[in-house]
Structure formats: structure tokens, C-alpha cells
Structure 1
Amino acid sequence: MISSSVELYNPREDLGGRDDPVPRLSAVMDELPEGRHEFSLPPADRGKEAWLFLFASFCLEALTWVVALQRRYPRASRYAPAAGLMIMGVALTASSFSQTVPHLIFTQGVLYALAGSVSYCPCMIWLEEWFVQRRGLAFGIMWSGTGTGGFVIPLVLQTLLEKYGFRTTLRTWGICLFVLAVPVFYLIKPRLPTRSATPIKPRDLSFVFDRTFLLYQMASIIESLGYFLPTIYLPTYARSMLGAKLFLATLTIILVNVSTAFGMTTLGFLADRLHATTCIMISTVGAVLGTFLLWGFANNLVTLYAFCLVYGFFAGAYPAPWPAITRQIISDSSTRESYATGRTFDPIMILGVMTAGRGIGNLISGPLSEALLNAAQKHVSRTWGGGYAAVIAFTGSTAMIGGASYFFKRCGWMG
């Protein structure tokens, strides 16, 4: 009878400086004496395989602006990025033929978003296999794809819109979306061997009642209430308050996106070395000072652009410590009891719920900011903020409350 042994990678060995051979492209089965087989896995946290996977995830994050099924059928998930990107391209192309608003909402608002989730979920799931000790940095680099895409893609689309109109632009981008993503399909793959189907493990959602999670989530939702306001009002502020032309006003959003990409990577790197609350406080201090001092007293474009860079770098990187937060919640004593009962906390599920909370803040901030802006127009300040004083004050205040977890930790209210 042939016996097999599986050699699983231990990340601590790599940290000790072990001299390993060049990692292979996939799990390779080597023939050993007496009919034994050994599976050698690519290393985590280092090696060409891990960094190529991270690069591909970064690209998908830039191009894409279920988890349960993909957990259930991991082998089929290997093709999810390709399928999702194809559907996204079809959705954009179909939206170019829209004659009614409901059709446009269905193609761009529903179909495109669902397809993007299908293509993106494997990156979230498999990133934890490829990166263990450097997980914060890896997530930061991947999430910085949003900022990079928000810098490059709008410039390209604006040029196409001006020359060819929206219908041709949508069709062209639908094709380009798939063509640009094809090279990364090969790189998006799991590190660990997968089976055609895996048993469905019970998922414990009780973490949503965990005090540590609730404190983090509360601060995050409040922070998100004001986080999105600058990206909504900066171009209008530049034009109405400073008399900037269209491109110079649009440049404010581009600068925020560029600096967000660098901030995500930097704070993700720090999250692997510092406590999550410390990283959140770094983000909070930069965002608060930038909002109150730079945007509040921005009476010229240079000061406003400086605010865009500071705000994007610090406020845009607020989610970067989230992987460290998931580790903290999973290592909590209540979680160990959950493991003892055979139930598990899924780190991707924790990230998903935190993202959903941030989305709630985004939805509420729109109507709320309109009310603030209308109120501010009645009492225009000549020294600070002008007609946007209420919006600026609200943005800075919510950013300040977003750092409350730092004090919760010092008060002993969380682990």
C-alpha cells in the first residue's frame, strides 16, 4: 500500500533565515523511496509565487471598482476571476445600449457589481494562504489598487468620453477590462492544494456581538460618515471657492487616490509590526490635522492640494489595519471557545462585515452632507472653511471619533 506524507510550510522557519530552494510553481509531488510521496508547497510571505499573486490581486482591485460558494467549491473558484471579468465586460457593453434608467441600473449597478465580487473574492480568500507574517502589508498593497486605478482610469475614461461619447467609451472599456485582466488570471491561484469540494464548516457569526468587534465597528462606521465627503465636495470647493478650472478641480480627486495607494501600503506595513489601534491612531491624527488645518484654511490651490495628499495618505489608509483586527478577534478567548465547539470565525467574514459597516456610513453621509452644506450657506465664515465650514467640521470630527479604539484599548475595554 502506497503511503503519502504532506509537508506543510511553517512560516517561522522562513523567518529564521532557512536557505530554501527556489519555490515551485505549484504543489509538486516528488517520488520518494518505498513508494512514498511528499508534497512541497510554495513558501508563504516570500518567494516569486507569493509576490506574483499579490501583484495580480492588486491589478484586479484596480480594475474592479459568494464567499460561501467559493469556500464550498474551491477548485471551481480558480476560474472565478476570469468568469467575473468576462461578465463585467459584458455588463459594460450591454449598458452602452441602454435607453432607460432601469436598464442602466441593472447592467452597471447590479450585474457589474456582482461580477466584480465574483472575480475579487478569491483574492481575499487566497491572500491569507500566501501571506502570513506580512498579511497587513499584502492587504495594504492589494487595496492600494483602488487608489491607483482611481488615478489612472478616470484620466483615460475622460479622454475617451470627450472624443467618442459614452456609448463607445463603455464598449471600449468593456473590452479593455477583460484584455488587461487576462494576464493576471494565471497568477490568481491558491497556495494550498484544493479538492473539488470541501465539507461546509459551521460559520460562527457570534463575533458581531463581541465587544472588541463592536467597538472597532462603531468607530469605523462613524469615521466613514465623514470620510467620503471630501471626495464629493473637493472639486466643487476648488471651483466655487478658489475659481479653479475643470481639470485643476478634478485633480483634487486624483491626488487623493494617488496618496491613498501609498498610505494603504505604508500603514499595512506598519500593521504587521504595531498594534492595530496604534495604526488607527496614526491614520486619525493625520486625517484630523489635515482636515482642520489644511482644508479649513485652504484659500489657494496649493494648500488644497496639500490637503488632498495628506488626507488620502492618512484617512484613505484607515482600513489597512483590518487584517490585524481580525487576528485580534480570532485570538480572543471567546473565539478559542468557539473553536472547541467545532465552529470557526472566518476572517474574511469579519472583513466583510466591517466593509458593510463602512458602506452604511457611505450611504448615510450623502443626504447628511447635503443638509450640512445647506445649513452652512446661511452662516458663511470668512476665515475658516467658507460656505463649507460645516462639512469640514463634520469630516474632521468623525475622523477624530474614528480613532476612539486607541483609547478603548488603553482603558482596557478591548483585548
Structure 2
Amino acid sequence: MASTHSNELQAISNPNGSLSRISQDAENVPTESTPLEVETRALPLADRGKEAYLVLAGCTIIQAPVWGSSLAFGVFQEYYTTHEFSGQAGSVATVGTTLNGIMYLMMPLSFTFLTRYPHLRRYCGPLGLVITVGSLILSAYATKVWQLIVSQGVLCAVGSGLLFSPTTLYLEEWFIARKGLAYGTIWAGKATAGFVFPFLMNSLLHRFGPKATLQAWAVAVAVLSTPLLFFLKPRIPLSTSGSRNPRPLSFSFLKHATFWGLQLGCIVQAFGYLLPQTYIPSYAHALGIPDVTGAFLLAAFQLSAAPGALVFGTLVDRLSPTSGILISSAGSTIAVLLFWGCSAQLALLLVFVILYGFFAGGFSSTWGGNLHEMKSQDEGMDTGLAMGLLLGGRGLGYVLSGPASVALLTNAWSTSGKWGYSTQYGPMIICTGITAIFGGSGWIWKMIKRAV
């Protein structure tokens, strides 16, 4: 027993920062964080226990205030362009693209910075909350589009990103062997928020107007997030001495072709992922389906994405992570090319959004399992940094898809067809199907390596 305890303390204080063998006890799952100094005491169990699941619950619930503004912005955009800023649809749309683009593209920087200076994580969450709440209050008083871009676009993105980054890095410490389940759970939380918020915000906007709605949302974000910040804590506490010293960063994963295959697949899949969500209401209208059906189809998409995230997160913990990517990509491809491409009525369109929401919505839940597998092959790898880069790649795909979608619609080969491929959305359907296929480039790369 004394020998085992000695091994734990020796691993915790390892000057190289490696915590891959904190204990020989199988119950104490290896951690993937590598701070320079931690308190030399028994660490809480990873992947199980009350503390781990309280952190997971907090990380899941906080997805609502983090992503709520971006998930519901389509409703705000519709209201702004028909009431407050009529005739400025293009300018108002910039608010949404700015919000989503900055949130994702700042994550490689924020994850790197908070990994380098882990003692700042405790301040980052509260700072992000203050900026988010302040941005919503400012946007409530906006009278010009540029004011919306600054407040509801730039500031809200920065605040939400700062609120998201430290909580995700905490999750990295608490869940290792069940990392896929953890990420599947928080993405399911995000999908659930995407189902609820558009309906809620639409009702509030048309009843009380944007000023009261944004003020109420600011108060709700503060009330919901403040207590959660007390539950979100590191598993590996820093020691009081030297805790402010910057810790070395490990970018060893950049040397592995497996990571780049995963990153490429992430960018490509994200490029096509938003296209159905953005244009399904317009496509349904083009088929002569009532406009209210568009909102119903988007709700069905988000509702099916929640179980998809949980299923694929659990799947990659139990099977090969690349198998999860393959199933997600194959299911997404079939849904697009068969059901969207051939849809000429509501029934097939509904089947498409449910299947695509489930399979494509579960794609990002496979990242955790893939990073865990890569970590087992390279103990020096920092999975938090890798996750930040994957999220940045997703943001890059989102940003590129905006202008590309306009080009796809402009260069349509037909505008008078009665089913998917023969309408002006035909090129977009083909493009979405191709991105779904090559979203599985991580699996494709692994198969090439095996063949070689």
C-alpha cells in the first residue's frame, strides 16, 4: 500500500508533466492534462463518481447560455428584417455569421492560452459571462445594424467563447476513457437548446419585441450560468506555489497524419453541415409546402441530433473511433443523396431531416474517442489543444460554406423541377452529399495506412 501511494505522488510531481500513470490501480483512470504542479494528494476518480458527473451536468447545462444566441439568431434575423431593419437583410445576416465565425475561430487561441496559463481558467468563465450579458443588454438598445454587429455579433461571440473554453478543458480532465460519452452529452445539450430556443425566442419577440426579449435573455443567462461556474472545477488542482508559471505546451499531435485526417474531415463535414439547416425552409417553400413546415423541419433536425450525439459518443468509447466516423458519414451521405435528393413531398423531407440530424449531428461526438485513441499512442499529446484546433476547423468550414452556398444556388442547372436534384437546390444537395462522404477522411486515411 505504501509503495502504491508513493507511485501516485511520484507521478503527480513528475517534472515532465506526464500524468499518464498516476496510479496502478485500475479504478484511477489516467488523466490527459499535464499541469506543472498539482497538489500531492489523491485525485478524484475520472470517468465516474459524483464529482465527475456534476461537472458533466454543469458543462451540459451551460451549453444553453453559451450557444443560445447563435442557435436562435435565425429567428432574430427574420424579425429584424421584417420590423426593425427592413430592406437590410444582407447586413443583418452579417451579425449571425460574425457571431458563429468568431466563436469557433477564437477557440484554437483560447484553448491554447488557457492550457498555457491554467490558473486563468477560473477567471475566464466569469469574465465571459459578464461580456455575454453586457453584449445582450447593449444589443437591446441597438438602433443601427453596425451596433448589432458589434454587440450581438462580436462581443457576444467573445463572451460566449470565453465561457465555453474553460468548461471544456475541465471536462477534458474529468473524462478520459469515457470521453466520447462526455462530449456526446454536452453536444446533446446543445442540440436540445437548438430545439427549444427558436420557438421560445420567436414567441417572445412577437409578443414583447426585441428590447424586452434581449433584456430577459441577458437576465436568464446570468441566473443560469452563475451557479454553474461553482460546479465547474478542475480535477487536478494547481499547487499554491508556482501555479502562475506558464506550463509547457505539447504540439506533438501535429506530427501525426491521423490528426490531420481528422481535422480535414472536420472542416469538410462542417462545410456541408449548415447547408440543410439554412435552406430546408426555403426548399420546402419551393415545393409548395406551407411556410410553417420549415420551422417544424428544423425542430425535427435538432431533436434527432440530440440522441445522435449521445449514441455516437457512447459508440466511440466501445468500438473503434474510426468506426463511429464511418457510420456517421455513411448515414449522412445516404440521407442526403437518397432522401433529400429524391424528395418531392413532406414525408421524404421529414425522413431526411431526422436521419441527417441523427447521423450528422453525432459526428462531432466522435472526436473525443479519436483523441483518446491518439493519446494512447502518444502520451505527450495534449488533447485539450487538439480539441481547440478541431473546433477552429469546424468554424472555418462554417465560414466558407456561406459564400459557397450562394454560388451553388446562383449556378443551379434547373429551377423548375419537382424533386430535389431537378430544382435550383440540386448542386447544393450534391455538394452536401460529397462533404458528408469526405467528412469520414479520418477513417479513409486509416484504411489507406492499413492497406499500405
What TM-score, normalized to structure 2? 0.78
> Does the 8 Å contact 1:380/1:389 carry over to 2?
no
Any idea what the Cα deviations from partners look like across 1:255-304, whole Å, max 9, x if unmatched? 11121121111101111122221100110111011111211222222321
Letter in 1 for 2:194: G
- Matched ranges for 1:110-121 at <5 A: 110-121=154-165
> Does the 8 Å contact 1:140/1:320 carry over to 2?
yes
State the distance in 2 between where 1:51 and 1:364 align.
36
1:308 has 2:310 as partner: no
Letter in 1 for 2:49: G
- 1:181 pairs, out of 225, 232, 239, with 225
Secondary structure (helix, strand or coil) at the match of 1:192 reads coil
**2:87 equivalent in structure 1:** none
Label 1:383 to 1:301 Cα distance change in 2 as closer, same or farther (>3 A): closer
> Does the 8 Å contact 2:189/2:306 carry over to 1?
yes
RMSD of equivalent CA atoms: 2.6
Label 1:213 to 1:71 Cα distance change in 2 as closer, same or farther (>3 A): closer
1:235 has 2:281 as partner: yes
- 1:320 pairs, out of 365, 373, 376, with 365
> Does the 8 Å contact 1:123/1:188 carry over to 2?
yes
Secondary structure (helix, strand or coil) at the match of 1:203 reads coil
**1:411 equivalent in structure 2:** 448
**2:257 equivalent in structure 1:** 211
**1:398 equivalent in structure 2:** 435
State the distance in 2 between where 1:252 and 1:137 align.
27
Letter in 2 for 1:161: L
> Does the 8 Å contact 1:125/1:348 carry over to 2?
yes
- 1:292 pairs, out of 332, 337, 344, with 337
> Does the 8 Å contact 1:72/1:198 carry over to 2?
no
**2:49 equivalent in structure 1:** 47
State the distance in 1 between where 2:112 and 2:365 align.
24
> Does the 8 Å contact 2:176/2:372 carry over to 1?
no
State the distance in 1 between where 2:300 and 2:43 align.
41
Secondary structure (helix, strand or coil) at the match of 2:41 reads strand
1:58 has 2:60 as partner: yes
State the distance in 2 between where 1:325 and 1:367 align.
31
**1:262 equivalent in structure 2:** 307
C-alpha deviation, 1:165, in angstroms = 0.9
Label 1:108 to 1:10 Cα distance change in 2 as closer, same or farther (>3 A): farther
**1:200 equivalent in structure 2:** 246
1:135 has 2:179 as partner: yes
C-alpha deviation, 1:92, in angstroms = 0.3
State the distance in 2 between where 1:41 and 1:208 align.
30
State the distance in 1 between where 2:424 and 2:330 align.
25
> Does the 8 Å contact 2:132/2:155 carry over to 1?
yes
Question: Structure 1 residues 397-406 or 144-153, which shifts more?
Answer: 397-406
1:374 has 2:410 as partner: yes
Letter in 1 for 2:441: A
C-alpha deviation, 1:184, in angstroms = 1.6
Any idea what the Cα deviations from partners look like across 1:339-385, whole Å, max 9, x if unmatched? 5xxxxx32111111122222222111111111211222635443443
> Does the 8 Å contact 1:211/1:414 carry over to 2?
no
Letter in 1 for 2:150: F
> Does the 8 Å contact 1:280/1:318 carry over to 2?
yes
Label 1:51 to 1:112 Cα distance change in 2 as closer, same or farther (>3 A): same
Question: Structure 1 residues 278-287 or 256-265, which shifts more?
Answer: 256-265
> Does the 8 Å contact 1:220/1:357 carry over to 2?
yes
**2:384 equivalent in structure 1:** 348
C-alpha deviation, 1:414, in angstroms = 9.9
Task: Give structure 1 regions of 4+ aligned residues with deviation exceeding 6 angstroms.
Answer: 4-9
**1:363 equivalent in structure 2:** 399
Label 1:409 to 1:401 Cα distance change in 2 as closer, same or farther (>3 A): same
> Does the 8 Å contact 2:258/2:446 carry over to 1?
no
Label 1:368 to 1:147 Cα distance change in 2 as closer, same or farther (>3 A): same
Any idea what the Cα deviations from partners look like across 1:24-78, whole Å, max 9, x if unmatched? xxxxx9xxxxxxxx83432211111111110100111222113344335544423
C-alpha deviation, 1:175, in angstroms = 0.8
Label 1:195 to 1:117 Cα distance change in 2 as closer, same or farther (>3 A): farther
Question: Structure 1 residues 166-175 or 371-380, which shifts more?
Answer: 371-380
What TM-score, normalized to structure 1? 0.84
State the distance in 1 between where 2:393 and 2:113 align.
22
> Does the 8 Å contact 1:74/1:195 carry over to 2?
no
C-alpha deviation, 1:151, in angstroms = 0.9
C-alpha deviation, 1:141, in angstroms = 0.6
> Does the 8 Å contact 1:141/1:268 carry over to 2?
yes
**1:283 equivalent in structure 2:** 328
> Does the 8 Å contact 2:332/2:436 carry over to 1?
yes
- 2:138 pairs, out of 94, 99, 102, with 94
State the distance in 2 between where 1:90 and 1:72 align.
28
Aligned residues: 382
State the distance in 1 between where 2:204 and 2:415 align.
41
C-alpha deviation, 1:195, in angstroms = 3.1
Label 1:366 to 1:250 Cα distance change in 2 as closer, same or farther (>3 A): same
1:109 has 2:122 as partner: no
